[in-house]
Amino acid sequence: MDNIADGVVEQSVKRKWQSYIWDSLDKSPEERRFLFKLDSALITFACLGYFIKYLDQANVNNAFVSGMKEDLSLNGNQLNYMTTAWTVGYVIGEVPSNILLTRIRPSVWIPSMEVLWTILTMLLCRCNSASQLYALRFLVGLAESTFYPGMQYIIGSWYRKDELAKRSCIFHTSSAIATMISGYLMAAVYNLDGRGGMAGWKWLFIMDGVISMPIALAGYYFLPDIPETSRARYLSAEEIAYAQRRMKLEGREKRKPYTKAKFKKILTSWHIYGLSLLYVLFNNGAAGAVPVFAQYLKDSKYPVYTVAQINVYPTCTGAVQIITTLAYAWLSDSLLKGERWPPIVFGACMNIVCYVSLAIWDIPEGWRWTCYILAGSGYGLSGLCMAWAHEICANDNEERAIVIASMNEMAYVLQAWLPLIVWQQMDAPQYQKGFITVSVLSLLLIITAFVLKVLHRRQNSWQSKREGIEVETAESDAPEVSFEVQTKR
């Protein structure tokens, strides 16, 4: 089986122009077929799962500006507290979940948690007080904590460097699509207001469950686990061998036991701290904690916008996020030859331009709308950050799982309390403190990206030297063979 995989999967292939469109077009027919199957199952499920996760998150904001605030008398900072309750649950669950994923089958764990959070989300329609919302949002966050870091770990276990950013970013764009769909869905569901004695915003959570449950159940079939443990019915034994060969060529280590030495190595390396800082700054360096555009529209006195307009117009920001996320991925994997830092720096620069302008506030109305919309160009960097982490931590499977979870977890640790200070509901829609804060975080993101670039290059240089020394040592230790040529006299 290994010999077959060796013949199909090459260390490197000469890039043709077609590969800049899609990476599998310059690979062998067998490997192309394998990638088509894997993309159709794994990436499709990942996108749909992240879609329903973000649909739930976005719908809380949409419900809030569509009647929940008035019906439940949420006139203080209750929206911030709901976000914090969800974030606390999310933070608690991430690292333990990813540690479990290195020992149990993802195809069982992740779909089971999806089913649970779907049920909990539907129960939000029965809430009659802020305290009930806080409790359910905490439990939803705990169940959802398994998905994003878990799926990033799985994606990083199947794809090579020239494929990884595209898949990670396609996965991430589903969050923007969910945010957009949520706006349209709220505008449509609002017409059900009063049906069955329930307000329109309550119907939104029921529709969440109707959409989410089939996707959660599909995960039991479509998730392929990881190459060394995969039992996916849609992959042949030869194709699983291809996958294992591909990860070997990328230097991605197989699973190994957790030991004190391993934990010490992980906790004393710059990987976990540098990459976590990068992701913390990206994740909090944008106005995602509150619906800033929607609240600006809702607060407008002239003109006065309808509920449908308040939910639909901000979807333009999501459209920009989708376009720029995919552009970053294709450029990073192809023209930039696997470099992840340039799009990260560009996205952070766009954040600074948009949020500094909004912090000034006294700007032309057209430019204000432009800033709200173009801010989406800084939202799509998650896949690049995760792809970079997979490559930096390729030599240790358990470190890779923990670092991926730690990146997301630390980002949400800051998000648990920062919005309570800088994104206070009472400051809406101006949010000057929030806009200044994310501008500063974006500047720090640029600095961190350059530092990690230097550290990663030093690491690669050191590894290359070490491998060269090991080859020389192996050659010097090899027994010498001498030949005597005898001639007849």
- pTM score, whole prediction: 0.79
Three-class DSSP category at 226: coil
* Tens digit of each residue's pLDDT (9 = 90 or more) over 79-126: 878 888 988 899 999 999 999 988 889 999 999 999 999 999 999 888
pLDDT of residue 488: 41
* Tens digit of each residue's pLDDT (9 = 90 or more) over 201-231: 888 888 888 989 999 999 999 999 999 899 9
pLDDT of residue 112: 95
pLDDT of residue 4: 46
Half-sphere exposure (CA, 13 Å, Cβ side) for 167? 30
Dist CA 346 CA 374 (whole Å)? 13
Q: Given a cut of 50, is residue 180 above it in pLDDT?
A: yes
- Do residues 225 and 106 lie in contact, with contact meaning Cβ atoms separated by under 8 Å? yes
Give the pLDDT band of residue 470 (cuts 50, 70, 90).
Answer: low
Q: Given a cut of 60, is residue 19 above it in pLDDT?
A: yes
Whole-number average pLDDT of the chain: 86
Question: What is the average pLDDT across 367-392?
Answer: 93
Q: Given a cut of 90, is residue 478 above it in pLDDT?
A: no
Instruction: Give exposure, 412-446, as e/b (b: 16+ Cβ within 10 Å).
Output: bbbbbebbeebbbbeebbebeebbbbbbebbbebb
- Do residues 385 and 275 lie in contact, with contact meaning Cβ atoms separated by under 8 Å? yes
* Tens digit of each residue's pLDDT (9 = 90 or more) over 360-371: 999 999 999 999
pLDDT of residue 284: 92
Question: What is the average pLDDT across 35-56?
Answer: 89
Six-digit token pair at 252? 């991605």
